[in-house]
Structure 1
Amino acid sequence: MPSLTSSLIHSLPIPLLTATQHPFLTAAAQSTLPLPSLIAWLAQDRLYLLAYVNFIGTILSRLPLSGGADREQSLEWRVAEVCIDALEMAKRELRLIEETARAEGWEGDVVDVRAGKETRAYQDLFVGAAAPNRPLIVALVALWGTEECYLRSWKYAATKMDLSLKAKDKDVMQRVFIPNWSSGEFEAFVRRVGGLVNKFGAGIEEGGWEWEECEEVWRQVLWAEKAFWPDVGGDEEPKKDSKKKANKEVTFGDGSKNGSADGGSK
């Protein structure tokens, strides 16, 4: 019998494709992304991450952790560990976005904004998926689904980049964000989450009500992910001085640079 994550991935191939191969990603990889679209998206992605932190906290609060000495071998403890790692990744992502926005001169436009409808959709999805009256597996599928889509999206973007570009010729998306969000570390994290989802879902009857709940939240994730990418087909001005600004390096408190943050989170 196929695993739960495999079944979900193969259940909606077209929505998965449209959610993870959006024109925004191609534009981001090829330096044709309008600057207003990039700034607006970063602002909403930052707010998404704050909602994600609350979502992870809710999952942690629902885990029935054992008090025994062997608790670290339990599935629930392993989920707690991956949730803690998710929080650490989200913290790094928030810092990466904020420090990069500050260096590029976008801080006010990225930080001083309200959640748009695309972000509110994710906020509602997280609240619903982690609701007390729903099985914990639904929240875990939502967590895995968002990360799986994000990984696929930026790996797709990475395939659209001009690999012959020198570092000085890359803009902020090519030099900082795309490598960060398509990294091997992030992929390993997503695989860990997927493995735990499959272990939790091993006892779920295919076609049963819990299975259907998982299918429903997967549909919601795909819809929300597609809606989250800004439309780049309008009349916005192309990015100006993006390559010039990309040459700035952001130095964090630990001494790392803005091109060296590990992993990604969505």
Structure 2
Amino acid sequence: MTNQNQKFTDYLLEKYADDFKLATQHEFLKQSGEGSIDSEVLKEWLKQDYLFAYEGGIKYTASLLSKLSLSPSQTHIRPFPASDLVPILGWSATNLLRETDWFLSVATEHGLNVFDEQPRERDTDKYGLLGEYSPITRGYIDYLQVIGALGGIEEGMICLWASEKIYNSAWIYAKTHIQSNPSSNETQKALIKFCDNWTTPEFTEFVERCENAMNKFDIELGSELAERVEKAFKTILWYEQRFWPDVKAH
């Protein structure tokens, strides 16, 4: 580990505190909390988030599960990391499926139709060769697929924890900007539901479980493993900072 008093995840959060703030206190989040974000900007972000979670997230958790040895050891029937990570990854995949369906239904309920009724292939006119994926979404998914295929379980779990930690922290920040007397605006009604859903105690507890599992790995600063894991963490920060749409401050 880093030392007797510091967890590896704390080391990363402290070292990259400024970058973490950029990823979790974006103007898009502020305006989302206020309910002042343009509905078209929100719809586009919801589409990209859906594509990322449904294609990237579910497959990624499956790739991490495939890395785990489930064979009993001489001293434990279910040794670490499988004992911790199987329930974490199982919950993650199930929740991603539930959540992607849920936020599409909430969006539709409030007039934020994420996917047009016309054939989705026509989005090629908007995004070019990537179809309906933005360059950041496509690159982020591809990066996770590389880690899922070629990275170690430590790199894999740091990516999962970091992305979920950032997402949870970001919407906690957005929630602090919810107005005390919200209007009847449909976009704002949807955003209140999104903020509540992405800041639930259950989700926050899941992030903490990922963090606790991450800190059980024997990662020493200066080691080749620590460098690989830190590089993965920095890459997640880079993508998360750019996943939020560019919006002008009010």
**What interval of TM-score do these two structures reach, taking the shorter chain for normalisation?**
0.7 to 0.9
Counterpart residue identity of residue 184, structure 1:
P
Distance 1:90 1:158, change over 3 A: same
TM-superposed deviation, 1:161: 1.1
Cα deviation code 1:26-58 (max 9, x no counterpart): 110112101111000000000011210000000
Residue of structure 2 aligned with 1:180, choices 187, 194, 197: 197
Q: Is the 8 A contact 1:205 1:211 kept in 2?
A: yes
116-125 or 40-49, which moves further after superposition?
116-125
115-124 or 41-50, which moves further after superposition?
115-124
Matched residues in 2 for 1:165 and 1:43: separation?
25
Is 1:97 paired with 2:103? yes
1:106 is matched with which residue?
113
TM-superposed deviation, 1:183: 1.3
Q: TM-score, normalised by structure 2?
A: 0.85
Is 1:136 paired with 2:150? no
Q: CA RMSD in A?
A: 2.3
Counterpart residue identity of residue 98, structure 2:
R
2:51 is matched with which residue?
47
Counterpart residue identity of residue 138, structure 2:
R
TM-superposed deviation, 1:191: 0.1
1:263 is matched with which residue?
none
Q: TM-score, normalised by structure 1?
A: 0.80
TM-superposed deviation, 1:131: 2.8
Q: Is the 8 A contact 1:161 1:174 kept in 2?
A: no
Query: Equivalences for 1:17-96 in 2 at 5 Å?
Result: 17-50=21-54, 51-67=56-72, 70-72=76-78, 74-96=80-102
Counterpart residue identity of residue 147, structure 2:
A
Residue of structure 1 aligned with 2:247, choices 218, 227, 232: 232
TM-superposed deviation, 1:184: 1.1
Matched residues in 1 for 2:203 and 2:25: separation?
18
Q: Is the 8 A contact 1:40 1:109 kept in 2?
A: no
Counterpart residue identity of residue 142, structure 1:
C
2:129 is matched with which residue?
none
Residue of structure 2 aligned with 1:196, choices 195, 210, 213: 213
Fraction of identical pairs, as percent = 26
Matched residues in 1 for 2:79 and 2:226: separation?
26
Matched residues in 1 for 2:88 and 2:27: separation?
31
Counterpart residue identity of residue 8, structure 1:
L
Counterpart residue identity of residue 126, structure 1:
L
Counterpart residue identity of residue 196, structure 1:
A
3-state secondary structure, aligned to 2:149: coil
Distance 1:35 1:130, change over 3 A: same
Matched residues in 2 for 1:209 and 1:193: separation?
22
Query: Equivalences for 1:209-248 in 2 at 5 Å?
Result: 209-233=224-248
Matched residues in 2 for 1:156 and 1:107: separation?
24
Q: Is the 8 A contact 2:47 2:115 kept in 1?
A: no
Counterpart residue identity of residue 197, structure 1:
M
Matched residues in 2 for 1:26 and 1:64: separation?
43
Matched residues in 2 for 1:194 and 1:33: separation?
32
TM-superposed deviation, 1:210: 0.6
3-state secondary structure, aligned to 1:62: coil
